[in-house]
Amino acid sequence: MDTPKALTDRYQVTAHLARGGMADVYEGQDTLLNRRVAIKVLHSQFSADEAFVKRFRREAQAAANLSHPNIVGIYDWGQAEGTYFIVMELVEGRSLRDVLKSEGALLPRRATEIASEAAAALSVAHQAGLVHRDVKPGNILLARDGTVKVTDFGIARAWDDSQELTRTGAVIGTATYFSPEQAQGHSADARSDIYSLGVVMYEMLTGRPPFTGDSPMSVAFQHVSTEAPAPTSLNADVGESLDNIVMRAMRKDPAGRYQSAEEMRSDLVGVLRGEEVGAAPVVPVAAAAVAATSPSDSTRVMTATPPPTVPPDEVYRQIEEEPPSQLPFILTAFGLLIALVVLLFILFQAAGGGNSDADLVEVPNVTNLTQETAVARLLADGFEVNIIPETSTEVDAGNVIRTDPGAGFEAERGSTIDVYVSTGSAETQVPPLIGQTLENATALLESAGLTVGTVSERPDAEYAEGVVVEQSPASGNLVGTGTAVNLVVSTGPELVEVPDVVEMTEREATAALQDLGLKVTVTDEYSNEVAEGLVIETDPVAGTEAETGDTILLVVSLGPEPIDTPNLTGLTEEQARALLADLGLELNVSQATAPVVDPNQNGLVVEQFPEVGTTVFPGDVITVTLGEYTPPSTTTTTTLPPEPPPDNGDGQP
């Protein structure tokens, strides 16, 4: 595929992102405003169809009038090199389809947040008179900053044009997410988008869509006739409130659904706030019948006689393009529905209900045309298409070998034409490409007789920049020679900012880091400031840029470090207080003192509690008793002179 280098002087094309049935999507640079953009370029075979181009312009202009954080912005449209293009916001991130494919069912809160933002986007579009008509995971993008972006309003049509859509008999949308009225060919309105969002939400909550089948037809019939089991029957964590929201959005009768996307969003926001949402009342059958029927489509299942030239309806994608082969299979499903209508019509005629001749159309010669061109030609002539792959040594892969009925035969308008498309001369095994550089992968595919399909990019912590990290079909599959193999190439590890997880639990911090693609190791430390089990710090610290796959060290607190009670005996009160303070302990001096006989122990610590060597922790109190010396008492002896002998009166003793 040749990638254009420029579209007008303003837009430079830098990379091919995806290819769909009606358009290619490129990454480009707006040289005037110096910003990266996505550019959707209409395939050349459709640019010659004036009616199709007119609708292409009108849809681009209508979508460009939508401005909301949850809607992919349309910047410009134009004409260059014989075709037309739309310039839009480039959203870097993943589609919800890719998230569901890799993760399965989402946590109920995350699913509710995504659905509420998608509902906000639809509400803005509906208020502007636009119906999306193809709400599905592939059209809901999750930007790297977490913002939800609804894309592909390209098939949205002003409500005033809905009768034109009905007259052409075109069916827009994807069978898995069809509303019942779309599956029956009736006009779609805002409530059809609400139904489809309900289906998307069902898949987010349960990991699977409500209806599956062997063909789009069987899925479409289930949307019309079968009630889906409640999400809680598949995932008990969903809860009654979300059950009620999803089942109300998916009611068969539009009158029983939410009547606006804003009403649905309000209930979703209520659930996020912890409010309960009860079951909606059942709409009476009579009222439902009136509300579900449009004036011009009250009995029609699908129009069996579209006008001679019906422009192919393209599902414009931003980045997540559907593979080209899906359109024929969807048309096949509805071709079978048309065949059913035709059969009923024939039975009616046989019973005398009419005598008009069948509307016969000559099958055109589409041999050797590409599958896309052949399908467009047959659809324009009023046929439905069933694609049948077949090996061929004479017809290039991707081109038509033959049709059944063959060219020149007459067939009823609306009947199905089997189109045999060449897969090349033989089957070959898809080689393993993961871990190869893009250059090596291309060489391996070419040597196997295969081609490189779409090449997209995504960050990857395991593989270096420029290395293939995903391929489809997977290695080992047998495919026809010439088959395109889609590749996803690593842009290397993504730079993320280390979050602040200080004082989170180890489990909470680990989850926060792993959600960003970071690895975690843990070490323990004592801390007097941070409680046991909480994070003290990280290495590298919060705010540092790291690559996905890098390892972050979590330092988790063991709580305060235990201390052996020191020996305070013989210290003064001041010395004991200072020593304990250094250890984070407190001193309590007992009011009572202990007598000491050594005057040198007076005022010193002679007793302590707890005892020396006892384990204590910072902040604990150590009680001490100080010694008190009391000197011994002293007695003074006085010696008196002897008393004289008694006097006998003669002066002699």
pLDDT higher than threshold 60 for residue 163: no
Tell me, yes or no, whether 642 lies in a domain: no
pLDDT for position 41: 86
Buried-state track 301-320, b at ≥16 Cβ within 10 A, e below 16:
bbbbebeeebbbbbbbbbbb
Catalytic residue among 76, 134, 193, 460: 134
Tell me, yes or no, whether 479 lies in a domain: yes
- State the DSSP H helix or E strand holding residue 247, giving kind and residue range, or none if neither: helix 240-249
Confidence of residue 653 (pLDDT cuts 50, 70, 90): low
pLDDT higher than threshold 90 for residue 116: yes
One domain, residues 173 and 296:
yes
One domain, residues 521 and 553:
yes
pLDDT for position 611: 93
One domain, residues 530 and 571:
no
Do 273 and 279 form a contact (C-beta atoms < 8 A)?
no
The pTM is what? Answer: 0.46
Number of domains, the chain = 5
Beta strands at 484-490 and 451-458: parallel, antiparallel or unpaired: parallel
Do 109 and 272 form a contact (C-beta atoms < 8 A)?
yes
One domain, residues 378 and 395:
yes
* Torsion (CA) 534, 540, 544, 547 in degrees, nearest 10: -110
Q: 207: which 2 tokens? A: 């990991």
One domain, residues 527 and 416:
no
CATH code for the domain in which residue 538 is found: 3.30.10.20
SS3 sequence, 380-438?
HCCCEEEEEEECCCCCCCCEEEEEECCCCCEEECCCEEEEEEECCCCEEECCCCCCCEH
- Cα→Cα distances 51→54, 163, 164, Å: 5, 16, 12
pLDDT for position 298: 30
pLDDT higher than threshold 50 for residue 160: no
pLDDT digits (tens, 9 = 90+) for 30-62: 998 899 999 988 877 777 777 777 767 776 777
Domain of residue 349: give its range.
345-422
pLDDT for position 188: 83
One domain, residues 150 and 170:
yes
Distance of CA 261 to the CA centre of its chain: 20
What's phi and psi for 600, nearest 5 deg? -70, -15
pLDDT for position 327: 42
One domain, residues 213 and 360:
no
Confidence of residue 425 (pLDDT cuts 50, 70, 90): low
Of 490, 513, 544, which closes a domain?
Answer: 490
Confidence of residue 640 (pLDDT cuts 50, 70, 90): low
pLDDT higher than threshold 70 for residue 505: yes
CATH code for the domain in which residue 160 is found: 1.10.510.10
Judged on CB neighbours under 10 Å (0-12, 13-18, 19+), 488 is middle
- State the DSSP H helix or E strand holding residue 545, giving kind and residue range, or none if neither: strand 545-547
pLDDT higher than threshold 80 for residue 413: yes
pLDDT for position 391: 75
pLDDT digits (tens, 9 = 90+) for 254-276: 999 999 999 999 999 999 999 99
Confidence of residue 66 (pLDDT cuts 50, 70, 90): confident
What's phi and psi for 528, nearest 5 deg? -85, -15
Do 503 and 533 form a contact (C-beta atoms < 8 A)?
no
Range of weakest confidence among 94-103, 161-170, 536-545:
161-170
pLDDT for position 347: 46
pLDDT higher than threshold 80 for residue 6: no
pLDDT digits (tens, 9 = 90+) for 211-249: 988 877 788 889 988 899 999 999 999 999 999 999 999
Tell me, yes or no, whether 46 lies in a domain: no
Do 175 and 220 form a contact (C-beta atoms < 8 A)?
yes
pLDDT higher than threshold 90 for residue 538: yes
650 flagged as catalytic: no
Tell me how far apart the alpha carbons of residues 40 and 53 are, in angstroms, rounded to a whole number: 14
Tell me how far apart the alpha carbons of residues 615 and 613 are, in angstroms, rounded to a whole number: 6
One domain, residues 353 and 448:
no
Tell me, yes or no, whether 48 lies in a domain: no
Give the E-state strand segments of 90-143 in sequence order.
93-95, 130-131, 140-143
257/319: higher pLDDT: 257
Q: Three-class SS of residue 135?
A: coil
One domain, residues 148 and 270:
yes
Tell me how far apart the alpha carbons of residues 262 and 259 are, in angstroms, rounded to a whole number: 9
Q: Read off the DSSP letter of residue 350.
A: I
pLDDT for position 586: 93
pLDDT higher than threshold 50 for residue 452: yes
One domain, residues 311 and 453:
no
One domain, residues 269 and 226:
yes
Tell me, yes or no, whether 340 lies in a domain: no
